[in-house]
Amino acid sequence: MKYVSTRGQMAPAGFSDVLLDGLAPDGGLVIPAEIPTISSEQREAWRTLSYPELAIEIISLYATDIPRADLEQIIRAAYSADRFAAPETVPVKKLDERISIVGLSEGPTMAFKDLAMQFLGEVMPYVLQQRGRTLNILGATSGDTGSAAEYAFRGKPNISVFMLSPQGRMSAIQRAQMYSLDDENIHNIAVEGNFDDCQNLVKELNNDAVFKANHSIGAVNSINFGRICAQIVYYFWAWLRATDSLPADAREATVTTAEREASLVSIAVPSGNFGNIFAGHLARQMGLPIHRLILATNENNVLDEFFRTGIYAPRSRENTLVTSSPSMDISKASNLERFVRELFGTDAEGFVQSWSKLDEDGSVDLTAHLSRFVEEYGIITDSSTHEDRVETIRTEFETSGVIVDPHTADGLTVARRHNEIHGRILVLETAKPEKFGETIEEALGEKTPALTPELEALLALPQHAVDMADSGEELRNYIAEHAPAQA
């Protein structure tokens, strides 16, 4: 498997190369030169595998430059029982006959990011050791990526983490999980601004080829394809679990007759940076018969607007709202570039010309492709409000006894709204509700469960982070001071 840049100016590279580099040298995002396809027979052969075994099969299609035996050891360590609370790693829980929750928050930081980050926390040190290199990870977080990365890499040899987060825009537990860490290789930087400002700083330094090379800068945000390929796994896993009880001839997405519409499976994805749902898109392109990919946003609904109108117009910092689902308070979705590049097929030059309008005009017009979003890619979108989330959390608890976090509530709200979608809908869980206590308390009042002693202890720990202006120069100076230039 080789990887190329969305912008066409990178020589094909192997998985280990793009794993360490993050952004492509031309400023684009790396994508597989070809998407592997899975036959229905192969998919059915995977039905009896455990989650780590399924991860080995899928990730090995993308990480072809790592020996199979080594990759198996890496993946089994990443998804070991001491890291994920549920015996099946990712439980799928039925809420009713139509809706199920895919439990992606069983990892050490109680968020779906753990499923990809624990893999990176094993595979990146392996590659660095093989190559005799060190790496300084530069990342941005709107809430869960930061803690997942820091828990995955804390204490790891040859790696330091510099994590940017927006000042005052995360929940108390999200901050505590990050800012309470004392490991020497972990650096928390609280940036004056929002997540998009943090993300822009990451891109700025990644596009500074000299600084990036001198300080061995890498990325673990969803711009890193290593995360995307690890996320593909749980789409296959969830679809297999949702169809375990169906007869084999009823499992294909091509079923269109009314009698068999109940066999269809769609997946609702709370979406901010488009990385999670892009993994689902790749799974569908690989041959997983997902009927609909349902993209759910909050009030920062730039992605919803794009898929409805064909116009992508990211908002400014001032127009990016602070919401009760803060991990989705994003107005410029980095991974959308990967999807838009696919729309242009072999016309790489056409993509570059079109995408450049984003920097020149602040928006890009892709209305010529609008009909393809649903017809070819099966993507539909919608958004929810704070009031929707609170009502969904309350109603779900009263109906099923299940408490969901506000991001998962975005997905659940949208899933329940779209009654025209036939078959089952799997809603991807984003995080444990305990991470967003204020919103849960607003929804449930006196019925709100008390925090566990472990979380109470976490909140009581001293916290420390470096406050920083939205300044590339300040960030360069800080990294240069704490991560000397490579020899």
For residue 235, the tally of other CB atoms under 10 A from its CB is: 27
Query: What H or E segment, with its residue span, contains residue 278?
Result: helix 275-286
Q: How many CB atoms lie within 10 A of CB 460?
A: 9
The two three-digit tokens of residue 129, written as one number: 């050791």
**Is the pLDDT confidence value at 201 over 50?**
yes
Confidence of residue 120 (pLDDT cuts 50, 70, 90): very high
In terms of residues, how long is the chain?
487
What value, to the nearest 5°, has the Cα angle with vertex 430 and ends 261 and 371?
45
Judged against a pLDDT cut of 90, whether residue 308 lies above it is answered with yes
CB-CB neighbours of 199 under 10 Å: 24
| pLDDT tens digits, 324-336 | 998 888 888 989 9
CB 292 within 8 A of CB 422: no
Average pLDDT over residues 230-258: 81
What is the average per-residue pLDDT within 447-471? 94
Average pLDDT value for residue range 223-233: 95
Question: Using CB atoms within 10 A of its CB, is residue 49 exposed (0-12), middle (13-18) or buried (19+)?
Answer: middle
Active-site positions? Answer: 113
DSSP 8-state secondary structure symbol assigned to residue 276? H
Query: What pLDDT, on a 0 to 100 scale, did the predictor assign at position 371?
Result: 95
113 confidence band (pLDDT: 50, 70, 90): very high
Q: What φ, ψ does residue 362 adopt, rounded to 5°?
A: 85, 0
Residue range 351-406, pLDDT digits in tens: 999 999 998 999 999 999 999 999 999 999 999 999 999 999 999 999 999 999 99
pLDDT value of position 203: 86
- The pLDDT of 440-458, averaged and rounded, is 93
Dihedrals φ, ψ of 162, to 5°? -115, 105
Q: Over 70: is that where the pLDDT of 445 sits?
A: yes
For residue 436, what are the β-bridge partners? none
Element (H, E) at 218: strand 217-218
pLDDT at 253: 56
Gap between the Cα atoms of 270 and 391, Å rounded: 17
pLDDT value, residue 252: 60
Contact 393, 439 (CB under 8 A): yes
Average pLDDT over residues 21-48: 93
Mean pLDDT on 298-320 = 94
Domains and CATH numbers, the chain: 92-108+225-447 (3.40.50.1100)
For residue 487, pLDDT over 70 is answered with: no
